[in-house]
Each structure stands twice: as C-alpha cells, then as structure tokens.
Amino acid sequence: MPGRDEITDFERAAEFRASLRRFLRVSEDAARKEGLTPRRHLLLLMIKGAPDGSERSTVSELCERMQLAQSTVTELVQRAEEAGLVRRGQAENDGRVAHLTLTPEGERRLIAVHNDLRPEREALAELLHQLD
C-alpha cells in the first residue's frame, strides 16, 4: 500500500514535533524554576557546551548556533552579564573579539536546570530512537 508509507511518514513527523514541544515546555519550566528565561538558559547552555570543549563562545558563534540576530544576542549577553551570569574576556588572537564564559553563578544555575532535565532528555532520546 503506497499510501500507507506516506501516512506513516506524517505520523512520524507529527510525533517528533509533539515530543519536541513537550520537551521544550518542560525545559522552559525547569529554566524558570532557576530564575532563567528560556532564552537565557539557552545562552548559558550554548556557552558551556561550545563544540570545541572550550566552554566559551563569541557573539558571532552564538548567533549561528541560536539562530538569532546579532542585535538580539548582543542584548541577551549584555543582560546576562549585568545579572552576573556571563562574563567577557578578550580573545588571545584577536583583541577585538570578546570570548564569553559563564560565571560560577551562571554555571550553578545551568547545572541545576541540566540535572533537573536529565529524565526528560533521556526519555526524548529514547523516543527519537524509536521513531528512527
């Protein structure tokens, strides 16, 4: 039945989206419990989880990874800096580019959310695996 293949494909896509939305909802609640907006939580995660293990990032890198405009990320970083969650240092190789890292308080809150979300992360991974 060629029709059935197509339907299964839509079912799979719909289930993927539904699982994702549930996960993001729980994630947003977990972030708020630590006094973080969902976007600020994402910022901290992107800095701490930099792809090269450096635990630091530039605004340009964050724009690409978060899929947000430069002005949005710049403001987000500024506010997180004012809130004592993020700090900036100059990059060694280019004095004009600031490398952002987490403050101990930023790290503490990120870890709290991250640990809180562990069961949901594992459940989502399991579900995506089944859909695969």
Footprint of its own copies (CB under 8 A): 7, 9-15, 17-18, 20-22, 24-25, 42, 45-46, 48-51, 53, 55, 65-67, 110, 114, 121, 125, 128-129, 132
CA–CA distance, 69 with 91 (Å, rounded to integer): 22
Q: What minimum distance in Å lies between the beta carbon of 69 and its own copies? A: 12
**Beta-bridge partners for 98:** 90
Q: What minimum distance in Å lies between the beta carbon of 84 and its own copies? A: 20
Phi-psi map region of 35: left, alpha, beta (phi>0 left; psi -120 to 50 alpha): left
Residue closer to its own copies (CB basis): 9 or 90: 9
What DSSP character marks residue 103? Answer: -
Q: What minimum distance in Å lies between the beta carbon of 39 and its own copies? A: 11
Q: What minimum distance in Å lies between the beta carbon of 95 and its own copies? A: 27
CA–CA distance, 116 with 101 (Å, rounded to integer): 22
- Return the amino acid letter for 21: R
Output phi, psi for 110, to 5 deg: -60, -45
Residue closer to its own copies (CB basis): 4 or 96: 4
